[in-house]
A and B are shown apart, each in its own frame.
Chain A
Amino acid sequence: MVVEVQPSHTAEAGHWGKDVRSDLHVAFEGKDTGGIEVALESRVAPYYGEAMLEQARAVLAELGIKHARVSIHDEGALPFTIGGRIEAAARRAGASLDKRWLPEQHALPAPSLKDRLRRSRLYLPGSEPKYFINAALHEPDAIILDLEDSVHRDEKDAARILVRNALRAVDFGACERMVRINQIPLGLEDLAEVVGESPDLILIPKVERPEQVAEVDRMIGEIKARHGITRPIWIMPILESALGIENAFAIAVATENVAALTIGLEDYTADLGVPKTAEGKESAYARARVVNAARAAGVQAIDSAFTDVDDGDALRRWCEASRAMGFEGIGCIHPGQIRVIHEAFRPSAAEIEKAERIVAAYEDAQSKGLGVVSLGSKMIDAPVVQRALKLVERAKAMGAIS
């Protein structure tokens, strides 16, 4: 007699163990009969055990799964993570490929302005939910939910679900909510998952040609239209190769949704075949080129991420040099770096004072209907006035002027 055995579809997602916090491990076994069975082990079971079982069942119902055995080993994960890990495990098992479970929507922050302050952007590895929840307390100008280099290639699918849930459920305060997708074409799958949750800005890594930006922009536009999203989703291309640098201007003007250009120095120096140094002489040309192209396109130039978290002095020196070159911000990977960055990108008291005097003179000239702005015996050129206006506006946004 031949018995046909249906292979049971099993898969896992997430992590557990002594050093794991705010995450969970889900083992999913799809079945044909028997209904839903959920086993739970958690140190927070006395407080949220019932809630977790209830959530697990709700997630499975939402995913349209009627028969499955799910084993959860929880390490104090929050609901957005629990849902994300169950969904990832189910999808890995081949169940519920077209359905989603979404956590409760936290009120969306105001749409982000194209020219907003972007001094600091804090990278958060997309597969580490424990870093999401308190990131905004450290008040970076932006957080980046990263799906690229900080996420192992086997974890991309689960990370994009987590990032999607975080965009929806986590309070990122006044931070601009950025997502770094993977290189195209993998990045297009990231877009499909996250754009519906209205991130404020998408970082595209390893951009070399304007067409890549245009393609991302087009896809964002399509998804926005499908979801009825009208608020802007800006784009920040990351130039990380010699070719990317050569095409900087074309990339910056590839779409009007590009809000800033940035550079990735690890990959860029690798492409040049030279070591990355603390002084950065090897990348001086590329960085200057990025600043110039960005300014020519009327967008912001943002510097590479600074990854030595223990050397605050080196960070300060780098930021000061970066600001002097024309960059408006820098990436960072630890909350402890944020204050140094903000201090270094803050105009000096003398700069602010001079700019305020120019602005006052400009306003005075405007009120008198004069075409020429003068300060004392000196005539002030229009570009100088423009720079002073921008500096005062930025200083206000930074809280350096009340």
Chain B
Amino acid sequence: MSERVDLAHNAVGRQVPTMVNGKPQMPFLGVGKFQPRGRKAAPPILSNKDYPDTGDKLVADLETALRKCGLRDGMVISSHHHLRDGDKVALMALEAAARIGVRDLMWFPSASFPSQQGAIALMEKGVIHHIEGSMNGPIGDYCTQGKMRGLGVLRSHGGRYQAIQDGEVHIDVAVIAAPTADAFGNADGSHGKSACGSLGFALADSTYADRVIVVTDNLVPFPCVPWQIQGNNVDCVVEVDSIGDPAKIVSGTTQITRSPDRLRIAELVAKLLREAGIMKNGFSFQAGAGGIALAFVQYLKQMMKEDGVKARFVRGGSTKYLVEMLQEGLTDYILDGQTFDLDGVKSIASDPRHVATSPFTSYNYHGKGNFASLVDVVVLGATEVDVNFNANVVTHSDGRLLHGIGGWQNCLFAGCSILAVPSFRDRIPVIVDEVTTMTGPGEMIDVVVTERGIAINPRRTDLLHSLMGSKLPIRPIQDIKAEVEKICGGKPARPKLGDRPCAIVKWVDGTVLDTVWQVG
């Protein structure tokens, strides 16, 4: 990439490119400041006449399906991560595209995983032009080393829905991995040998893409019940031996951390909710499947029992621990975005109170509201938090891509957003002067809980007030940072980042929040 990149300063003082992959970009204007008008994108009108009356849309293989769907050079092909690191379908589709001689595709996954590093070879060969989606591991390194032809675009789950809905990303062909499907294209994730739970990530693609291919290893006679993907949106169905490695699709059991320091963080979070009065009858919370989050759920559950408190709903990433809360009557519902373990999959398949949601219902910012802002409290992680409560989840402190944004940005709209993080990892401080990559603006982050104390955003005077007189270790964030720097032997050096953008971080409204710079 030798062309000049025009940069602009956005509302949080970050330098961001104004043109990315040939499309003009709006720099971040501030939370709630960008309200586009106009109409949503829409797929083409098609007729039943072009589809068999029998409803049989089966084709021989992926090549046939891709040809039938008119995949050509330079198009956008999408895939999803409900099979997580066990997914075989995305690479299968990209390799099929290579075999039919298509080049310069934009791959638009809802997230990429280490098992998909075959995509690097496809970029080298020119089959994939660039990736817009989360990148980590070897694919992340490939991008941050500046080897990708286009710029990476990182979006939250809600931001991905927003980009599709608003027409920022036009998907030519969507390929949806389905643990169960019928020949009409109805598909679901809760049954089959590759069962994964909710297929919510594929919902936007199924409704907005020009063409939709369902790939399944469990073809059932019509009707596939229940269906989360409607066959009425589907062009072709392909049957394969295996869509993924079940051992990597869901974990047998999700493990709570055994680290005493992390358990301490988890317990502090639960105590904070109790003492701040957030944990009360009818409340709601969301926590992920990380070790600290799972431990937090266990501590909270105990406190809810002690105090006789019941939640109205909890938001998943569901795991055994949320399922137990549902079964013990500690919550009325699980609203599930993705399903992490076998207990979660079993529950979503059998318990009507365990409901599959999607980025549309939960996270889309350009809608008439979403569930994320209805949640009372969310517990999240981060790689760095700075003294202004800005946080980074996408890059290591040295600038290399580490994680996707996932639902993280969208969750910040909860009533109280808590980052539960160690204050340093090995010798690397997590509490810093300025984050390497801004993923969430500090005004959206209310509390940072570390093993060395709890920092409450001074903007949250209400929280500070309700915790007055608490014996919890509440401290200014600068104090925690100073203590950590003393332990680590001074401030860490700032890694030298290049001056060439290799990816951008979008905010939930599609504006550009920050730039990921080439490393080395």
Using known A-B contacts A44-B427, A78-B427, A137-B264, determine if residue A51 contacts B397 with beta carbons closer than 8 Å.
no
Question: Among A47, A77, A78, A79, which residue has its beta carbon within 8 angstroms of that of B492?
Answer: A47
- Enumerate chain A residues within 8 angstroms of B148, measured Cβ to Cβ: none
- Enumerate chain B residues within 8 angstroms of A21, measured Cβ to Cβ: 426
- Enumerate chain A residues within 8 angstroms of B351, measured Cβ to Cβ: none
Interface membership of chain A positions 76-87, coded 1 if the CB is closer than 8 angstroms to chain B and 0 otherwise: 111100000000
Interface members, chain A 27-44 (any B CB < 8 Å)? 43-44
A334 within 8 A of B: yes
Stretch at the interface among B223-231, B279-287, B316-324, B482-490: B482-490
Name B's interface SS: loop
Using known A-B contacts A134-B451, A137-B452, determine if residue A79 contacts B489 with beta carbons closer than 8 Å.
yes
B221 within 8 A of A: no
Across the two chains, which residue of chain A brings its CB closest to B490? A51
Interface members, chain B 247-297 (any A CB < 8 Å)? 260-261, 263-264
Interface membership of chain B positions 120-162, coded 1 if the CB is closer than 8 angstroms to chain A and 0 otherwise: 0000000000000000000000000000000000000000000
B369 within 8 A of A: no
A111 within 8 A of B: no
Most B CB within 10 A of own CB, among A47, A49, A51, A171: A47
A285 within 8 A of B: no
- Enumerate chain B residues within 8 angstroms of A50, measured Cβ to Cβ: 493
B476 within 8 A of A: no
Using known A-B contacts A44-B426, A46-B397, A134-B451, determine if residue A51 contacts B487 with beta carbons closer than 8 Å.
no
B398 within 8 A of A: yes
A113 within 8 A of B: no
Bound-state Cα–Cα, A133 to B451, Å: 11
Please state if B495 and A47 are interface contacts (CB–CB under 8 Å). yes
Using known A-B contacts A46-B397, A137-B261, A336-B260, determine if residue A76 contacts B428 with beta carbons closer than 8 Å.
yes
- Enumerate chain B residues within 8 angstroms of A212, measured Cβ to Cβ: none
Bound-state Cα–Cα, A195 to B261, Å: 29
B353 to chain A minimum Cβ distance, whole angstroms, is 32
Bound-state Cα–Cα, A371 to B45, Å: 102
- Enumerate chain B residues within 8 angstroms of A78, measured Cβ to Cβ: 427, 487-489
Across the two chains, which residue of chain B brings its CB closest to A50? B493
Interface membership of chain A positions 286-307, coded 1 if the CB is closer than 8 angstroms to chain B and 0 otherwise: 0000000000000000000000
- Enumerate chain A residues within 8 angstroms of B398, measured Cβ to Cβ: 46-47
Using known A-B contacts A21-B426, A76-B427, A137-B452, determine if residue A48 contacts B260 with beta carbons closer than 8 Å.
no
Bound-state Cα–Cα, A55 to B203, Å: 55
A22 within 8 A of B: yes
Please state if B428 and A47 are interface contacts (CB–CB under 8 Å). yes
Question: Among B264, B425, B488, which residue has its beta carbon within 8 angstroms of that of A48?
Answer: B488
Please state if A44 and B428 are interface contacts (CB–CB under 8 Å). yes
B303 to chain A minimum Cβ distance, whole angstroms, is 15
Using known A-B contacts A47-B427, A137-B451, determine if residue A334 contacts B260 with beta carbons closer than 8 Å.
yes
A217 within 8 A of B: no
Interface members, chain A 128-154 (any B CB < 8 Å)? 133-134, 137-138
A333 to chain B minimum Cβ distance, whole angstroms, is 12
A196 within 8 A of B: no
A12 within 8 A of B: no
B472 to chain A minimum Cβ distance, whole angstroms, is 13
Please state if B493 and A48 are interface contacts (CB–CB under 8 Å). yes
A75 within 8 A of B: yes
A335 within 8 A of B: yes
Bound-state Cα–Cα, A334 to B263, Å: 13
Interface members, chain A 327-362 (any B CB < 8 Å)? 334-336
- Enumerate chain A residues within 8 angstroms of B397, measured Cβ to Cβ: 46-47
Bound-state Cα–Cα, A46 to B497, Å: 11
Bound-state Cα–Cα, A46 to B397, Å: 9
Across the two chains, which residue of chain B brings its CB closest to A337? B260
- Enumerate chain A residues within 8 angstroms of B495, measured Cβ to Cβ: 46-47
Interface members, chain B 291-321 (any A CB < 8 Å)? none
- Enumerate chain B residues within 8 angstroms of A77, measured Cβ to Cβ: 427
Please state if A43 and B493 are interface contacts (CB–CB under 8 Å). no
B270 to chain A minimum Cβ distance, whole angstroms, is 14
Most A CB within 10 A of own CB, among B263, B427, B495: B427
Interface members, chain B 460-513 (any A CB < 8 Å)? 487-490, 492-493, 495
Please state if A48 and B261 are interface contacts (CB–CB under 8 Å). no
Please state if B426 and A43 are interface contacts (CB–CB under 8 Å). yes
A44 to chain B minimum Cβ distance, whole angstroms, is 5
Across the two chains, which residue of chain B brings its CB closest to A79? B489
Across the two chains, which residue of chain B brings its CB closest to A139? B264
11 contacts between A and B (CB under 8 A): A44-B492, A46-B397, A47-B427, A47-B492, A48-B488, A48-B489, A76-B425, A76-B427, A78-B488, A335-B260, A336-B263
Which 3 residue pairs across A and B have the least CB separation, nearest first?
A76-B426, A47-B492, A335-B260
Other contacts beyond A44-B427, A46-B397: 7, CB < 8 A: A44-B492, A46-B495, A48-B489, A77-B427, A134-B260, A138-B260, A334-B260
